[in-house]
Amino acid sequence: MAWQVDKSHSHINFTARHMMISKVRGEFTDYDIDVNFDENNLTATTVDVAIKTDSVSTRDAQRDTHLKSPDFFNAEQFPVMTFKSKRVVQDGPNRGKLIGDLTIRDVTHEVTLDVEYSGIAKTPWGGSSAGFAARTTINRKDWQLNWNVALETGGWLVSDQINIEIELELAQVAEPVAEAVA
């Protein structure tokens, strides 16, 4: 069976510190994820992600416009950021590390996501769904996202450390049955 991302139950979120005292939460709303999920061998799973940078949303139009500008994602010049998995290391029956290359603004660095596999559940409609949660922290400056403002009280307007959290639900898709050739 093949699997596809159920976007109505999946989210790509991030958190950054604002003025060193609070957190700003955001998400990307337009993305494509190609998952080759092998439920019998989790380490054989592969993931390719393409996120449209102009789909960033923090629920503040002015901040979103700034994030899309050359100060941050430069969405006009770099419309897509990508993640391409390289390997999966299983830490236990439902835990592992997804290691791959994250490219933002044509700068690529390897990142490791801590992944929790929630298992497979039968849906009320006769199908199956699989759930995953992934987390990592990156330093945005590694991808040349350097803009910042020093605060009068010390510290910075935007934290360097960005927490990324992904909730992913896959829905099982029946593969077409090949017709017999006479």
Average pLDDT on 146-166 reads 92
Domain range annotation of the chain: 2-173
Q: What distance in Å separates the CA atoms of residue 30 and residue 111, rounded to the nearest whole number? A: 21
How high does pLDDT run on average in the chain?
Answer: 92
Residue 176's pLDDT band (boundaries 50, 70, 90)?
Answer: low
pLDDT over 80 (residue 174): no
Residue 172's pLDDT band (boundaries 50, 70, 90)?
Answer: confident
pLDDT over 70 (residue 178): no
Average pLDDT on 132-154 reads 94
pLDDT over 90 percentage in the chain: 74
The whole-number pLDDT of residue 173 equals 83
Q: What is the DSSP string of the chain?
A: -EEEE-GGG-EEEEEEEETTTEEEEEEE--EEEEEE--TT-GGG-EEEEEEEGGGEE-S-HHHHHHHHSTTTT-TTT--EEEEEEEEEEEEETTEEEEEEEEEETTEEEEEEEEEEEEEEEE-TTS-EEEEEEEEEEEEGGGGT-----B-TTSSBSEEEEEEEEEEEEEEEEPPPPPPPP-
pLDDT in tens, 4-27: 999 999 999 999 999 888 999 999
Q: Tell me whether strands 95-104 and 107-122 are parallel, antiparallel or unpaired.
A: antiparallel
Exposed e or buried b for every residue in 110-146, given b needs 16+ CB within 10 A? ebebebebeeeeeeeeeeebbbbebebebebeebebe
Average pLDDT on 139-161 reads 92
Q: For domain 2-173, give the CATH number.
A: 2.40.128.110
In this prediction the pTM is 0.90
The whole-number pLDDT of residue 175 equals 66
Q: Is 45 exposed, middle or buried (0-12, 13-18, 19+ CB in 10 A)?
A: buried
pLDDT in tens, 13-64: 999 999 888 999 999 999 999 999 888 888 898 999 999 999 999 999 999 9
Average pLDDT on 52-78 reads 96
Length of the chain in residues, anyone? 182
